[in-house]
Amino acid sequence: MLQRRPHLPVVSNQLPYQLLGRLYDPFVINSTSVAHAAVAEASTHTQLSNVKNFISHWKLDHTLMTMANESIKQEMANESIKNGVLIVNTIPVLTSLLEGLSKLPLKPASLYVDLEGVNLGRLGPVSILSLYVLPQKVTYLIDIHTLGHSAFTAQNENGDSLKFILEHAKMPKVFFDIRNDSAALFHQHQIKINGVKDIQLMELATRTGGKEYLADLEECIETTAPASENEKIEWRYLKDRVTRLYEPAHGGSSKVFNERPMRPEVAQYCAQNVVLLPALWSVYEPKLRGSSGSFWRSQLHSAIKERIQQSQAINYDGNVKDKARGPWADIEYQRELWNEDVLDAAMNGEVIYSDTVDV
């Protein structure tokens, strides 16, 4: 095993790989552990080249050099997969990530979105836009607080912008309860969100019990998400921890979403809220397919459209008491009307709602 040299002074003007090298006696190195020990000793900001230079500094053989390179690359890859989160706080990085979004698969939906902010809504500003790109397995935390309105209007070479993506009717964006997010986008950034799929309404549409009240994200994850109990425990712990940071009832403030640099737990919380959405989509969306789901697909389209229209009203209030009520209190009446329309259409050889129409 690598053994430390005792009592070595730190020389501040040395390069990182030289500092790293001074920690070890080159004559007692066990070659099978050098790569992992080097990575463990290095700070999180130490670059791959620094560790490579540490090995070169001591003139270790080529085989060991290759082994270390591959081990370090694997460590870095594993860390990237484990975290899978990129904070976007510069325009060049933002326009770069926009490059491929317009070419992503439409089925299943590729983009999962959530917004956090200070009392987010018609008057409350957007702080962070979380964007999970399913085909890439990467979450982008777009720092709206830092970038401002330019985050939505900055264009790449193809003319694509975040505003263009959000308003594109044919590019599905999956949200959980679009209302306050839509209000903030419309009233503060003049964005008319389109192509929305709302997981909260999908849950209500596919629920077998009563439909008077909506479920929140926590209920959906606890009851229907195909996640392990350990994953749910981790989710609960993080949610509780961050809730205490932003809920006034716990002594917190939503201004925590404006703190820079972002707190690690806040970044993880924002990412987690979108990473879990594809799992919920996979539970609800299959139940809405085919002719048996056509009634509820039509109801979903109408309800989402109504939510967006309400959120864009000049007097929209995202904190009203009846916000937890579902939109289908008179669903039996709506079902009767639907059946009559279907019957009339069938008699005339028409189809009023295609089985192929998406959720």
What DSSP line would sit under 174-207, residue for residue? EESS-HHHHHHHHHHH-----SEEEHHHHHHHH-
Tell me if 321 is assigned to some domain. yes
152 plus 257 within the same structural domain: yes
Tell me if 205 is assigned to some domain. yes
Residue 165: predicted pLDDT: 97
Contacts with 181 (C-beta within 8 Å, 6 or more apart), sequence order: 113, 114, 115, 120, 175, 193
Arithmetic mean of pLDDT, 155-173: 97
Tell me if 359 is assigned to some domain. no
Residue 162: predicted pLDDT: 98
- What percent of the chain is modeled with pLDDT above 90? 62
Tell me if 176 is assigned to some domain. yes
202 plus 55 within the same structural domain: no
Residue 22 has pLDDT above 60, yes or no: no
Residue 178: predicted pLDDT: 99
Tell me if 146 is assigned to some domain. yes
Confidence of residue 100 (pLDDT cuts 50, 70, 90): confident
Residue 285: predicted pLDDT: 96
Cβ(23)–Cβ(41) under 8 Å?
Answer: yes
Taking only the tens place, the pLDDT of each residue in 292-346 is 889 999 999 999 999 999 999 999 999 998 899 999 876 655 665 665 566 556 6
Residue 25: predicted pLDDT: 36
Confidence of residue 18 (pLDDT cuts 50, 70, 90): very low
Phi, psi of 349 (to 5 degrees): 70, 30
Of 54, 83, 112, the residue that ends a domain is 83
23 plus 43 within the same structural domain: yes
Residue 52: predicted pLDDT: 45
24 plus 124 within the same structural domain: no
137 plus 75 within the same structural domain: no
Residue 342: predicted pLDDT: 61
Residue 50 has pLDDT above 90, yes or no: no
Confidence of residue 41 (pLDDT cuts 50, 70, 90): very low
Residue 227: predicted pLDDT: 86
Question: Could you give the C-alpha distances from 296 to 98, 223, 230, 303, 349, in angstroms and in order?
Answer: 33, 21, 33, 10, 22
Taking only the tens place, the pLDDT of each residue in 127-152 is 999 999 999 999 999 999 999 999 99
Of 83, 100, 133, the residue that ends a domain is 83
Residue 244 has pLDDT above 90, yes or no: yes
218 plus 282 within the same structural domain: yes
112 plus 246 within the same structural domain: yes
For the whole prediction, is pTM greater than 0.85? no
Confidence of residue 248 (pLDDT cuts 50, 70, 90): very high
Among 8-22, 110-124, 139-153, 181-195, the least confident range: 8-22
What's CA 103's distance to the chain center, in Å? 19
48 plus 95 within the same structural domain: no
Among 45-49, 61-65, 307-311, the least confident range: 45-49
211 plus 111 within the same structural domain: yes
79 plus 99 within the same structural domain: no
Tell me if 273 is assigned to some domain. yes
How far is residue 198's CA from residue 302's CA, in Å, rounded to a whole number? 12
E strands, the chain, where?
85-88, 111-117, 126-133, 138-143, 173-175, 196-198
Domain that holds residue 180: 85-347
Residue 321: predicted pLDDT: 84
Cβ(195)–Cβ(173) under 8 Å?
Answer: yes
Tokens of 163: 């505003």
Residue 234: predicted pLDDT: 92
How far is residue 166's CA from residue 321's CA, in Å, rounded to a whole number? 29
Residue 104: predicted pLDDT: 95
Residue 270 has pLDDT above 70, yes or no: yes
Tokens of 329: 């209190």
Of 66, 83, 100, the residue that ends a domain is 83
Q: Domain with 151 in it: what CATH number?
A: 3.30.420.10
Residue 45: predicted pLDDT: 43
21 plus 90 within the same structural domain: no
Arithmetic mean of pLDDT, 251-280: 97
Each residue of 268-282: b (16+ CB within 10 Å) or e? bbbbbbbbbbbebbe
24 plus 34 within the same structural domain: yes
Residue 173 has pLDDT above 90, yes or no: yes
Domain total of the chain: 2
Tell me if 356 is assigned to some domain. no
Tokens of 274: 């979108």
Tell me if 358 is assigned to some domain. no
